[in-house]
Amino acid sequence: MADTTSDSFGFSVRRLPGFTALAIACYAMLYAPIMALVAYSFNAGSSIAVWEGFSLHWYGAAWQNEKVQEATILSLLVATVSSISATILASMAALGTTRIRPYKGLTAIYAMINQPLMVPEIVTAVALLIVFAIIKSTTGYQGLIYLISAHTAFCIPFAYLPIRARLESMDLSLEVAAADLYATPLRTFKLITLPLLWPGIIAGMMLAFVISLDDVVITEFVKAPGQDTLPTYMLGQLRRVITPEIHAISTALLSISIIMVSIFFLLNRKKS
Amino acid sequence: MSIGGESLSHTTDVKPQGTPRISGYEAAARKAEVHRNILLTIPALLVLVLAASGPLLVMLLYSFLAPGDYGGVVWQPSVDGWFRVFLTRDIFDDTLMLQDAHVTIFWRSIKLSSMTTVLCILLGFPTAYFIATRSDQTRNLWLFLITIPFWTNLLIRTFAIMEIIRNEGIVNNLLIFVGVIDVPVQMLYTDFAIMVGMTYVYLPLMILPLYASMEKLDFGLVEAGYDLYATRFRVLRRVILPLVKPGLVAGSILVFIPSLGAYVTPRVLGGGKNMMLGNLIELQFGQGQNWPLGAALSIALLAIVMVALIVYVRTAQRSTQAHG
């Protein structure tokens, strides 16, 4: 421990007895279940309790399962479309609410943008179920637009936060200089603001993508029959006999999230 | 998943300023700027009204309508939904009674969420303190290790807990191997399982805000405490705890709110009979076929969450005033 405040008797004002042991136990507790899950995805046997040797069998089984293929394609499609739309909308909203002279209604706008973070997911889910049921019965349309608009809405605050943070840390003087040199507002935006803002936009889009990819509750209530994403497919399977196929799918999803979050952190670190 | 804590502060930090005397030209330019800014936010707000705020209002309306026979509603005003949140009529003599099942579920939700919050504090406090006392180089790594589970799929993490506490799971096998027990203990599908699962999935939500306030902790004050012959426990209670209270309150709210509205964790780990509020709400839209009751229950849950948020904002404001 790099500790400058401990004296020659080894007394440190930073140390509290037992805290380090508890913290290490806490880390072990956080990671042990996930590691066990990943380990059993490589089990050769069909049991999820007995280890029968290393094999990639269940990854192959999941890959060839038609339902899993469909769910994967739908998950990726919904996450891609929703995260891109949410990021465009959130970028515009961030530009309209950050580094500006405060105007009437700004507080209400903040509250509305952050609202999906504050309302429990189950409440939003059943509210959407009600509204979409009305729209479905009047129009008869059953397509993907419901899932995509629901995902876009709850992804907006997640995309908004990093973009806003990036905007706040940006230097205004470059844009003022561009304007002084008779650049049009559009040209200033294209040549100065957008390139500077880009890391924030990418970070926001990745968070939105991960959030959309992982969503269970809202998807479960909004989806039409046959519109299963990977998480809702898994939720359905948990009620049946579980095979390591579920472990394999989980491990694949986990890897995508971890890669995305790592890139997000690297992007954010460059900024500071 | 929700990371509401940080964002909440944004809603209160803007106050309209008194405008000084300005020329007509400048006033017009400012007006155009405000128009442009509002125009920029409109598309996002439109989507949010359509698929987030608006539906909540429709749901409020639905809670005051009569239930349809096969789900949905009949368009006539009724308070039956709200009535059934806690009450029921006896089918034989029509007397009013407390709806025991609902009271039990409300009580279980509040009890399990509170216990989860306490468990998260007990585990999260030492961990946040541990991270805050690392050197600058390793601190980010420890922090990153907390953030990874936070961003990974909640269903997968719940599934991972289900796997290790089942009868043939690692925990039972280990206990039998050590000789503490002879036959597996039934842990899955109990209230205990739900509590363990929620603690597991929401723990990062406690650690992150706690760390944020411990990072700013002035250890000079801690040292002063020891210089004045305070014991370790006294320093913890009288110096450290009051200084990190804002983080503790934020963490507690961030854990309590999603626990109260939990749906996936009790569904997977509680196994159908140990329901929480989220599952009771789902039931009304599924087998229960009573949409107005489901809507009323959802509004009730939302009201409890809003009260918790208001308490949080009040406490946060008071502590910023107290510490300047």
What is the end-to-end Cα distance of chain A in Å, rounded?
25
Nearest CB to A22; choose among B126, B160, B232:
B126
Q: Does residue B105 lie in a domain region?
A: yes
Q: Does residue B2 lie in a domain region?
A: no
Which residue in B has a C-alpha nearest to residue A7's C-alpha? Answer: B223
Q: Report pLDDT digits (tens) over A176-192.
A: 888 888 888 888 888 88
- Nearest chain A CA: its distance from B117 CA (Å): 15
Angle, vertex CA B9, rays to CA B3 and CA B14, nearest 5: 140
Of the two residues B213 and B69, the one the predictor is more confident about is: B213
Instruction: Calculate the average pLDDT of chain A.
Output: 87
DSSP B46-87: HHHIIIIIHHHHHHHHHTTEEEPBTBSEEEEE--HHHHHHHE
pLDDT of B292 above 80? yes
Q: Which of A207, A179, A209, A208 is nearest to A193 (CA)?
A: A179
Q: Does residue B131 lie in a domain region?
A: yes
Q: Report pLDDT digits (tens) over A181-234.
A: 888 888 888 888 899 899 899 989 998 999 999 999 999 999 998 899 999 999
Q: Does residue B17 lie in a domain region?
A: no
Instruction: Number of helices (H) and strands (E) in chain A: give both, helices first.
Output: 12, 0
- Nearest chain B CA: its distance from A189 CA (Å): 14
Q: What is the CATH number of the domain that holds B206?
A: 1.10.3720.10
Q: Does residue B90 lie in a domain region?
A: no
Of the two residues B299 and B240, the one the predictor is more confident about is: B299
Per-residue tokens: A72: 């994967």
- Nearest chain A CA: its distance from B95 CA (Å): 31
Domains in chain B: how many in total?
A: 1
Q: Report pLDDT digits (tens) over A133-179.
A: 999 989 988 889 999 999 999 999 999 999 998 898 887 788 888 88
Whether residue B272 lies within 8 A of chain A, CB to CB, comes out as no
Query: Which pLDDT belongs to residue B4?
Result: 39
Find which of A9-13, A264-268, B308-312 is predicted with most confidence, using mean pLDDT. Answer: B308-312
Per-residue tokens: B193: 């399982």
Q: Which of A26, A22, A53 is nearest to A40 (CA)?
A: A53
Q: Which residues of A touch B72 (CB under 8 A)?
A: 133
Distances from the Cα of B210 to the Cα of B8, B10, B127, B144, B248, angstroms: 16, 19, 9, 15, 6
Residue B275, domain extent? 98-322
Query: Which pLDDT belongs to residue B323?
Result: 55
Q: Are B168 and A49 in contact (CB under 8 A)?
A: yes
Q: Per the CB < 8 Å rule, is B153 touching A102?
A: no
Structural domains of chain A sorted by starting position, each given as residue range(s) with its CATH number in brackets = 16-55 (no CATH), 66-271 (1.10.3720.10)
C-alpha A164, offset from chain centre: 17
Q: Does residue B12 lie in a domain region?
A: no
| Structure ipTM | 0.86
